[in-house]
Amino acid sequence: MALNLSLVSPYLDKGADFASGANFAVAGATALDRAVLLQSGIMAPPASVPLSSQLDWFKAHLNATACPSLQDCAKKLAGALFLVGEIGGNDYNYGFLQGFRSIEAMKAYVPQVINAIMDVAKEVIELGATQIVIPGNFPIGCSPSYLSLFAASGDLDDRGCLRSYNAFAQHHNEQLQAAIDGLRKANTDVTVVYADYYGAFMHLLDHASLLGFEQGALLQACCGAGGAYNFNMNSMCGAPGTTTCADPARNVSWDGIHLTQQAYRAIALSLLMEGFAQPDDAVQEIWSC
């Protein structure tokens, strides 16, 4: 099996060719349904689509691609690679960045977010998936968006990242890995890979110069409205007055929230070649077969 992620077409593009796969992800998506977030006063943008809806799209896609029976679908899906996430970050972002909720308060959402991810993973396994990659969350304490809001607290580590918010991301990732271990034990015939986005991102920061990134702009957005981190929540990339750096390929962050294509490429290579996806032997088998 060969996978070319650049050919994975977005599902809502009705004219797309899905021969190489389908992408059900949506910008701003959450693991939890909107109603669950609203119960605690957390607002998701109108265009946000929860993970449960993406799963429904996947099922509709199976029905539309002529799987006459569950058995036929299972045969088709047995050779496919499923990437479930990275998801959950926006559930926390909306609480931290919009409501300025405390880290301890947001920890209450972690088990719910993990359960939502696991429910989808279990369901795609039931449908026939045999190879699944589930990524962890990035170190949000290194994000220009978080730094612009919370760096004044002085809670910075040697890299200049926010210790407490990175500890929160690690808490999520630890809970996720424990759940993945349980999923593996219950499905010994399925390969479930944990993609350590946190570790791969830190590896990028620690080897930034060797990877071609500008050392003095590692925690700054390429596209933004100035300030120490070139990020302004009220004047985000694309708004009047924002500017773009001369060479995005030398910046890690694109808009203060998302990474640049070059940063994503470096992280992807780290997952494949630097051991940031576990178990490592399973990763090599998936990509070499």
204 found inside a domain? no
Tokens 């029976």 — which residue? 69
53 found inside a domain? yes
208 found inside a domain? no
Peptide bond into 274 cis (omega under 30): no
| 206-250 pLDDT, tens digit each | 999 999 999 999 999 999 999 999 999 999 999 999 999 999 999
Contact 43, 52 (CB under 8 A): no
73 found inside a domain? yes
Of the listed ranges 1-10, 82-91, 161-170, 210-219, the least confidently predicted one is 1-10
Distance CA 202, CA 142 (A): 9
Q: What is the DSSP string of 199-264?
A: HHHHHHHHTTTTTT--GGGTTSBSEE--TTTT--TTS-TTSTT-EE-S-GGG-SBSSSSSBPHHHH
pLDDT of residue 66: 59
Confidence class of residue 135 from pLDDT cuts 50, 70 and 90?
Answer: very high
pTM of the predicted structure, to 2 decimals: 0.92
| β-pairing verdict for 191-195 and 131-135 | parallel
Q: Is the pLDDT of residue 21 over 90?
A: no
The helix (H) or strand (E) run that includes residue 10 is strand 9-10
Of the listed ranges 168-177, 218-227, 262-271, 278-287, the least confidently predicted one is 278-287
227 found inside a domain? no
- Identify how many contiguous H helices and E strands the chain contains and give both numbers: 12, 8
Q: Is the pLDDT of residue 3 over 60?
A: no
| 68-116 pLDDT, tens digit each | 666 777 777 888 899 999 999 999 999 998 866 899 999 999 999 999 9
139 found inside a domain? yes
pLDDT of residue 218: 97
- Structural domain that includes position 161: 9-198+276-287
pLDDT of residue 4: 35
Q: Is the pLDDT of residue 179 over 90?
A: yes
Q: Is the pLDDT of residue 259 over 80?
A: yes
Distance CA 146, CA 171 (A): 17
Distance CA 66, CA 276 (A): 37
Q: What is the mean pLDDT of residues 262-288?
A: 86
203 found inside a domain? no
Of residues 64 and 147, the one with the higher pLDDT is 147
Domain count, the chain: 1
Torsion, Cα of 39, 43, 46, 48 (10° steps): -90
> For residue 191, what are the CA distances in angstroms to 157, 213, 214, 250, 271?
36, 34, 37, 35, 16
150 found inside a domain? yes
Q: Is the pLDDT of residue 1 over 50?
A: no
Q: Is the pLDDT of residue 6 over 50?
A: no
